[in-house]
Amino acid sequence: MKILIINGPNLNLLGTREPEIYDSRPMNSILEELNQEFSSTEIIYFQSNIEGKIIDCLQKNDYDAVIINPGAYTHYSYAIADALKNISKPKIEVHISNIYQREEFRQKSVTAPYTNGIISGFGLDSYRLAMLSLIQK
Q: Is 30 annotated as a binding residue?
A: no
Q: Is 86 annotated as a binding residue?
A: no
Q: Is 69 annotated as a binding residue?
A: yes
In this structure, is the dihedral angle defined by the CA atoms of residues 69, 54, 31 and 137, taken in order, positive or negative?
A: positive
Q: Is 82 annotated as a binding residue?
A: yes
12 vs 46: CA distance, rounded Å: 10
Q: Which of 22, 63, 73, 114 is catalytic?
A: 22
Q: Is 75 annotated as a binding residue?
A: yes
Q: Assess contact for 121 and 101: CB atoms under 8 A.
A: yes
Q: Which of 73, 95, 114, 127 is catalytic?
A: 95
Q: Is 17 annotated as a binding residue?
A: no
Q: In what order do the strands lie in the sheet with 2-7?
A: 42-47, 2-7, 65-69, 91-95, 117-120
Q: Is 22 annotated in the active site?
A: yes
In this structure, is the dihedral angle defined by the CA atoms of residues 58, 71, 95 and 113, taken in order, positive or negative?
A: negative
Q: What are phi and psi of 16, to 5 degrees?
A: -120, -25
Q: What separation, in Å, do the N-terminal and C-terminal C-alpha atoms of the chain show?
A: 11
Known binding residues for substrate: 69, 75, 82, 96-97, 106
Known binding residues: 69, 75, 82, 96-97, 106
Q: Which residues are part of the catalytic machinery?
A: 22, 95
